Chain A
Amino acid sequence: MKKLLIYFIIICIITLSGCSRFSLDERSIIEGIAIDIHDDGILVTTQVYKQSGNQNETEKYEIHEAIGNTVYDALQNISHISGKRPFYSYNKIIIISYDALKDGLYNVLDYFIRDNEIRHNTLVCCSIGKAGDMLKIKNEGQLMPAERITTLLGIAGIPSYKTASGELLDVGTRMQDECTDVYLPCLKLVETNEGKIAYSEGSVAFSKDKPIYNLSPEEQLAFCYINGYETHYPLTVEYNTAKLVFSLKDIDKDIKVSKNGNNGFDFNIKFNINTILEEVYSSGKKYDDAEIKQISNLLGEKICKMSNLATKNVLLKYKSDIFQYGAHVRQRFPKEYSNLSSWHDIISNCTFNFTHEVTLSRVGENNL
């Protein structure tokens, strides 16, 4: 029996030694995917890690492109052209051009949501202009890795991709959820003397699966505060002639929902802000700790104002519930929610009130 066991282990070692019968050089290790609309169908561009035996070759990545009737079809065509089987596990980003979104986000993302190989925390964003060009940006003569684009989106104040927002999982959940709308970070390509540069162009709110409104950077931050997504982006408060820069250690939101007489709901949103003073820029006047503490309340007022404006512009004007207010109603008032024909129909009957409590945890070197 022991001999049999040894033979079994040897067979297992031989047959289960790799992840696939395909060797590494037979696979395209995809780092980034871009989707555009083309006259003949859908154009998919992939940035692929270049496997080369030539040590003198410095280019690490290469671009593959193909057109297909659907996203899957185009990806298959890339595979046919390159002669390699695609490997999506290392894919970092899916960039969709604004034009491609006009056919509906569901169509574009459906394949990726259903695929088992792709990471469901892959970042999804849209681009103004051709998405494929984002993957072709050159830096010091070489293709810029797709991973750098995800970092770029993080630096630009959009919540880090380690939080839920902008990830395939979050986008897919919002797509499936009847009372919540999708939000995507947005990129723009700009031509400069030094070449093409990608930069963050705020974000896009969706209604159902169509883009409907471009959020300003302030609205985008307010979106993060209301949803409870992690963001430490510093805010500047102006007081008399001074400018005080506060960074947000953490910001908790407490959303209370109650029914109102207009067949709608009243939302009372309270922000508990824990902040640190980073910089005081004033012409001569010095502020003591007590004074700074008072001024920090202005930060709370600013956040409330930003949130109010974002709610008005995105939710009340365009009926795009990227803030998940509807999910709060569904959770607190399930019976009333189930009687609604659609949450989006009663949005205009709702009111929103924002309050704040600011805790200043550090002023320079003085720990309060």
Chain B
Amino acid sequence: MDRTKIKISSGQFLALLLCSRITVTLTYSLNNSEHTSSGSDFVNAIILIPIMLLLGIPAYILIKQNKNKSLIDRAYDISSSFGNLLSVLYSLYFLFIPIASISRFNIFITSTIQTDKNMFYYAVLIMLPVCFATIKGIEPIARAGTIGVVLGGLILLTITIILIPRFNILNITAPALEEKSNMFSMLKILTSNCNETVALLILFPMVKGNTTKTYIKFSFISGIIITILLFTIAATLGAYAKLQSFPYYTAYGVAELGSLKRLDAIHSAVWLIGVFIKSATFTYTSCLCLERIIPHKFRTLTIVIVGIIITVLASIISGNYGNFDWLYGSVNLLRSLLVFSLAIPLFVIIASNIKRKRRVIN
């Protein structure tokens, strides 16, 4: 994985980030949080835009200082043992994301669509192409991401338009009616899923063009898409969403276009594409973090081992709702996101700058 040679365009990178973000929003389930869907949810999505921009500040500083050195490279500049430590920590963090995505998909499929299949079956089916894509590298994943985001975007747009006649504006309640804790809970969920910000810290040297501009575009576009998606759910389902495990799936189930019915099948298809691209991106990023520790000749083996770990853990976690709730507890996620996207990168930036200055003085 020679990063200096591998480059993807900023458009492809934007597609990867959007694919990951839309997948999370489209598949949110109310089961694993205390929050219940409300009409003011989409206000949180608007607040999310500046939060995402704030979370991107360390990446902006890193890019500004040296566009060819990722966070891990900068950590190695401080000391090799610190670099190794961060490589392992970030690799584990990125490993967790496909585990969570596949677990959620597993739970959806086995609780909603094919209740007679076992959890391991789908985890294997998803991880086989994910490992194949990871072995092939970031370029094919990015190309698949571009196709996925165009296809997914068109499908989402079409279904949202179909659902417009079903919108009941009376379902939209004013934020003033919401309990502050309830509103904050949704904001926490939305923020804690911003894993793309952490991926940016590792992947930016591989992106051609202006990465900062791409991230700003991503923050605004994803904010707008999440706003539209949450508004669609609130206007279509209203209080009904409280009793639905997967509100988007329910909403898409009532969408009809002439003789085309049960469009929830399309929702599942978009979800599947999204899970594949997201898992492949983060599995690749996880393996990329380990590239300085594990020799290049063991790259394929590393990916296979990582794939097996993800498959086994995703099957175990999705086998028990309690495990999944613990893993997806928004507080845990939020804490780890803040540590990996803000605390560690800021520490690395300050420490590497101090070390550089000392070198200059010496």
Which A residues are within 8 Å of any B CB, using their own CB? 1, 4-5, 8, 12, 16, 19-22, 89, 113-114, 116, 119-121, 164, 167, 169, 172-173, 176-177, 324, 327-328, 330-331, 334-335, 337-338
Q: Which of B116, B129, B166, B249 lies in contact with A116, CB distance below 8 A? A: B249
Asked if residues A164 and B166 are in contact (CB atoms below 8 Å), the reply is: yes
- Cβ of B360 within 8 Å of any chain A Cβ, yes or no, is no
B280 to chain A, nearest CB (A): 15
Interface of A: prevailing SS: helix
Knowing that A1-B132, A119-B253, A173-B171 touch, tell me 14 more A-B residue pairs with CB under 8 angstroms.
A5-B132, A89-B262, A116-B113, A164-B166, A169-B237, A169-B254, A173-B168, A176-B240, A176-B243, A177-B239, A327-B170, A328-B170, A334-B174, A338-B177
Asked if residues A173 and B240 are in contact (CB atoms below 8 Å), the reply is: yes
CA distance A4 to B177 in the complex (A): 56
CA distance A169 to B132 in the complex (A): 42
Asked if residues B177 and A114 are in contact (CB atoms below 8 Å), the reply is: no
Asked if residues B111 and A116 are in contact (CB atoms below 8 Å), the reply is: yes
- Cβ of B260 within 8 Å of any chain A Cβ, yes or no, is no
- Cβ of B172 within 8 Å of any chain A Cβ, yes or no, is yes
Q: Mark B261-272, 1 if CB is under 8 A from A, else 0.
A: 010000000000
Please name all residues of chain B whose beta carbon is closer than 8 Å to the beta carbon of A113 when the two chains form the complex. 240, 243
User: For residues 298 through 345 of chain B, which have their beta carbon under 8 Å from a beta carbon of chain A?
Assistant: none
Q: Which of B114, B169, B174, B238 lies in contact with A20, CB distance below 8 A? A: B114
Please name all residues of chain B whose beta carbon is closer than 8 Å to the beta carbon of A8 when the two chains form the complex. 128-129, 132
Please name the residue on chain B nearest to A7 by beta carbon. Answer: B128
Sample 5 A-B pairs with CB under 8 A, ordered by A number. Answer: A12-B125, A20-B116, A116-B112, A330-B170, A330-B174
- Cβ of B361 within 8 Å of any chain A Cβ, yes or no, is no
Q: Which of A19, A164, A328, A334 lies in contact with B176, CB distance below 8 A? A: A334
CA distance A203 to B125 in the complex (A): 50
Given contacts A121-B254, A176-B243, A338-B176, contact A324 B132 (CB under 8 A): no
B249 to chain A, nearest CB (A): 7
- For chain B, the bracket of interface size reads 35 or more
- Cβ of B87 within 8 Å of any chain A Cβ, yes or no, is no
A93 to chain B, nearest CB (A): 16
Asked if residues B173 and A334 are in contact (CB atoms below 8 Å), the reply is: yes
Please name the residue on chain A nearest to B253 by beta carbon. Answer: A120
Query: Which 7 pairs from chain A and chain B are nearest by CB?
Result: A176-B239, A334-B174, A327-B170, A334-B176, A173-B240, A116-B112, A173-B238
Asked if residues A116 and B245 are in contact (CB atoms below 8 Å), the reply is: yes
CA distance A22 to B114 in the complex (A): 10
- Cβ of B250 within 8 Å of any chain A Cβ, yes or no, is yes
User: For residues 195 through 253 of chain B, which have their beta carbon under 8 Å from a beta carbon of chain A?
Assistant: 237-240, 242-246, 249-250, 253
Asked if residues B238 and A331 are in contact (CB atoms below 8 Å), the reply is: no
Residue in B169, B170, B245, B250 with the greatest tally of chain A CB atoms within 10 Å: B170
Please name all residues of chain A whose beta carbon is closer than 8 Å to the beta carbon of B262 when the two chains form the complex. 89, 119
Please name all residues of chain B whose beta carbon is closer than 8 Å to the beta carbon of A1 when the two chains form the complex. 132
CA distance A169 to B236 in the complex (A): 9
A267 to chain B, nearest CB (A): 14
User: For residues 84 through 143 of chain B, which have their beta carbon under 8 Å from a beta carbon of chain A?
Assistant: 111-114, 116-117, 125, 128-129, 132
Please name the residue on chain B nearest to A230 by beta carbon. Answer: B165
Given contacts A114-B243, A116-B249, A120-B254, contact A331 B237 (CB under 8 A): no
Please name all residues of chain A whose beta carbon is closer than 8 Å to the beta carbon of B249 when the two chains form the complex. 116
Asked if residues A164 and B237 are in contact (CB atoms below 8 Å), the reply is: no
CA distance A114 to B244 in the complex (A): 6
CA distance A331 to B172 in the complex (A): 7
Please name the residue on chain B nearest to A1 by beta carbon. Answer: B132
Q: Which of A4, A16, A176 lies in contact with B242, CB distance below 8 A? A: A176
Please name the residue on chain B nearest to A8 by beta carbon. Answer: B128
CA distance A337 to B178 in the complex (A): 12
Q: Which of B169, B177, B250, B254 lies in contact with A334, CB distance below 8 A? A: B177
Please name the residue on chain B nearest to A176 by beta carbon. Answer: B239
User: For residues 1 through 55 of chain B, which have their beta carbon under 8 Å from a beta carbon of chain A?
Assistant: none
B88 to chain A, nearest CB (A): 29
A343 to chain B, nearest CB (A): 12
Q: Which of B173, B253, B254 lies in contact with A330, CB distance below 8 A? A: B173
Please name all residues of chain B whose beta carbon is closer than 8 Å to the beta carbon of A16 when the two chains form the complex. 125
Please name the residue on chain B nearest to A172 by beta carbon. Answer: B240
Please name all residues of chain A whose beta carbon is closer than 8 Å to the beta carbon of B128 when the two chains form the complex. 8
CA distance A173 to B240 in the complex (A): 4
A110 to chain B, nearest CB (A): 8
